Amino acid sequence: MRGFVMILMIFDHASMSFDRNHLDSDSALYADAMTMALPAAEFFTRWMTHICAPTFVFLAGTALALSIARREARGSSAWSIDREILIRGAFIALLDPTVISLGLGRLSLGVLFAIGLSMMCMTVVRRSPDWVLLAFGVGWFVLGEWLTGLVWSPPGSASIPAALVIATSGDGALSIKYPVVPWLAMMSLGWVFGRHMTAYASGIARRSPAQVLFIAGLMALALFAAVRGLNGYGNMFLLRGNDSWQQWLHVSKYPPSLAYALLELGLMSLGLAAMLKLEPAIGVRRNGPLLVFGQTAMFYYLVHRLVFDATASWGGLLDFGTISATYGVGVVALLALYPLCRWYRGFKAAHAGSVLKYL
DSSP state of 286: T
Residue 57 burial (CB < 10 Å; 0-12/13-18/19+)?
buried
CB–CB of 134/189 below 8 Å? Answer: yes
Q: Is the dihedral of CA 225, 229, 232, 235 positive or negative?
A: positive
The string of pLDDT tens digits covering residues 56-86 is 999 999 999 999 999 999 998 999 999 999 9
CB–CB of 46/12 below 8 Å? Answer: yes
What is the residue-wise DSSP string for 140-205? Answer: HHHHHHHHHHTT--SSSPPPHHHHHHTS-B--TT-BB---HHHHHHHHHHHHHHHHHHHHHHTT--
* Mean pLDDT of the 124-146 span: 96
Residue 176 backbone dihedrals phi, psi, to 5 degrees: -120, 105
Q: Which of 26-35, 168-177, 295-304, 333-342 has the lowest mean pLDDT?
A: 168-177
The string of pLDDT tens digits covering residues 204-253 is 999 999 999 999 999 999 999 999 999 999 999 999 988 999 999 999 99
CB–CB of 200/207 below 8 Å? Answer: yes
User: 171 falls in which pLDDT band (50, 70, 90)?
Assistant: low
The string of pLDDT tens digits covering residues 1-51 is 999 999 999 999 999 999 999 988 899 998 888 888 899 999 999 999 999
Residue 182 has pLDDT above 80, yes or no: yes
Three-point CA angle 33, 154, 147, nearest 5° = 125
CB–CB of 25/33 below 8 Å? Answer: yes
Q: Which residues neighbour 212 within 8 Å (Cβ) at sequence distance 6 or greater?
A: 193, 196
The string of pLDDT tens digits covering residues 86-106 is 999 999 999 999 999 999 888
pLDDT at residue number 262: 98
3-state secondary structure of 35: coil
pTM above 0.85, yes or no: yes
3-state secondary structure of 45: helix
> Residue type at 1?
M
Closest CA to 126 of 174, 198, 179, 50: 198
Give the span between the Cα atoms of 99 and 339, in whole angstroms.
22
Residue 353 has pLDDT above 90, yes or no: no
What is the residue-wise DSSP string for 48-80? Answer: TTTTHHHHHHHHHHHHHHHHHHHHHHTT--HHH
Residue 315 has pLDDT above 80, yes or no: yes
pLDDT at residue number 352: 83
CB–CB of 205/196 below 8 Å? Answer: yes
Neighbours of 205 (CB within 10 A): 15
CA-derived radius of gyration, the chain: 20
Closest CA to 229 of 219, 239, 214, 217: 239
Helix axes 52-73, 78-95, angle to 10 degrees: 160
Give the span between the Cα atoms of 322 and 332, in whole angstroms.
16
